[in-house]
Amino acid sequence: MPNAVGYKREAVNRILAIASTTALLVGGCTTVEPIDYARTLCDTVPRAEFSTCASRVIDHYRASARVTDPPFGYSTSGPFAMVVADALYLGQYRSDPFSAAFEVTHGDDICRGAYNAVAGSPAAILDVRCDDGRTGTADLVLDEGGRNGVGTVRFDDGTNGRIVFGHGAAGAAPAAEA
């Protein structure tokens, strides 16, 4: 007969399996190449600096991929970058199996996004609101490693943008200009 520790371990393993399956079904995973992260993150730098920026992002991603024992929270929170209309917004995200949120800034403009399945959000689409009055939605997807990802943001005024998140992907983002 298994002891209480065995039951707890089995319950935790089941919860983790359910959460992982839910994440795959709701947001999904996809193949994202390091150059895809670099194209988004370096889109706002002058063309003469693009190669240097892209090399830095790719090198950072590869170094991050070699981390075998990441710190606690490494895959559930970290850097978040959003490129909208030639502006690079930088900030942080945090997530758990049932909710996610981010906050990014560019100069004085702050944009925030969130969803919460427990509060009734039917899909893992984040509602986005910026201090400049824009509202919209963001759709994110994890890469195959599960610690980084990409996405799109669509504002109600017709403006669209791209998103990169995760320590390996967005951790080497160029500094935003105000």
The pTM score is 0.78
Q: What percentage of the chain reaches a pLDDT higher than 90? A: 49
For the purposes of burial, counting CB atoms within 10 Å of the CB of 177, is it exposed (0-12), middle (13-18) or buried (19 or more)? exposed
HSE-CB of 165 using CA atoms within 13 angstroms: 31
Instruction: Return the top range by mean pLDDT from 26-35, 76-85, 116-125.
Output: 76-85
Q: Give bridge partners of residue 161 from the DSSP assignment.
A: 84, 153
Position 175 in a domain? no
pLDDT value of position 19: 47
pLDDT at 14: 47
**Looking at the 3D structure of the chain, how many domains does it have?**
1
Residues 38-77: tens digit of each pLDDT: 999 999 999 999 999 999 999 999 988 877 777 777 778 9
| Residue 176 within a domain | no
User: Containing domain of residue 90, as a range?
Assistant: 4-170
The alpha helices in the chain, defined as continuous H runs, are 4-26, 34-41, 50-65, 167-170
Q: What pLDDT was estimated at residue 69? A: 76
Per-residue pLDDT averaged across 131-142, rounded? 94
Of 54 and 5, more confident: 54
